[in-house]
Amino acid sequence: MSSRPTLIEAPGAPKAIGPYSHAARVGDFLFCSGQIPLDPETMQIVEGGIEAQTRQVLANVKSVLESQGAGFGNVAKVTIFLADMADFPVVNPIYAEAMGDHKPARSTVQVAALPMGALVEIEVIAAL
């Protein structure tokens, strides 16, 4: 007998720009779609370069987590996608600030391109 995931649309996060949900909840796990630096109000990429984009992405991820009563302390795995690995020294301390003492497993990769010309995208898996 298989169970279907509960698909999550999180208030406070930008609307999905494609045929996907913000997250899928399966039992005690939350599989979050990647978030790019969209302002939830304007649905535009925030201005201000990699620093502003990273902060917006983390705010968007936080909104998805909070919609399920979770926070960064529930995150088990993170994947960070960067358009340019040279941005890592800027992204890493902003990420560390958001996570605090919590240090989940993480991968960071450079990709050829991200949706809407974003410089960063982050996806997480959380234990609820």
Dihedral sign for Cα atoms in the order 86, 75, 43, 93: negative
Q: How confident is the model at residue 1, as a pLDDT?
A: 46
Q: How confident is the model at residue 2, as a pLDDT?
A: 61
Cα separation of the two ends of the chain: 22
Residue 64's nearest CA partner among 97, 34, 43, 37 is 34
The first and second tokens of residue 57, run together, are 């992405």
Domain boundaries, the chain: 6-127
User: Residue 7 CB: number of other CB atoms within 10 A?
Assistant: 11
CATH for the 6-127 domain, from 3.40.50.300, 3.40.390.10, 3.40.50.1100, 3.30.1330.40: 3.30.1330.40
Report the percent of the chain where pLDDT is more than 90.
98
* Residues ≥6 apart with Cβ < 8 Å to 122: 34, 35, 57, 58, 61, 78, 79, 80, 81
pLDDT tens, residue by residue, 60-102: 999 999 999 999 999 999 999 999 999 999 999 999 999 999 9
- Average pLDDT in the 6-15 region? 96
Report the percent of the chain where pLDDT is more than 70.
98
Residue 118's nearest CA partner among 64, 67, 63, 43 is 43
| 57 close to 36: Cβ distance less than 8 angstroms | yes
Burial status of residue 44 (CB atoms within 10 A of its CB: 0-12, 13-18, 19 or more): exposed
| 81 close to 109: Cβ distance less than 8 angstroms | yes
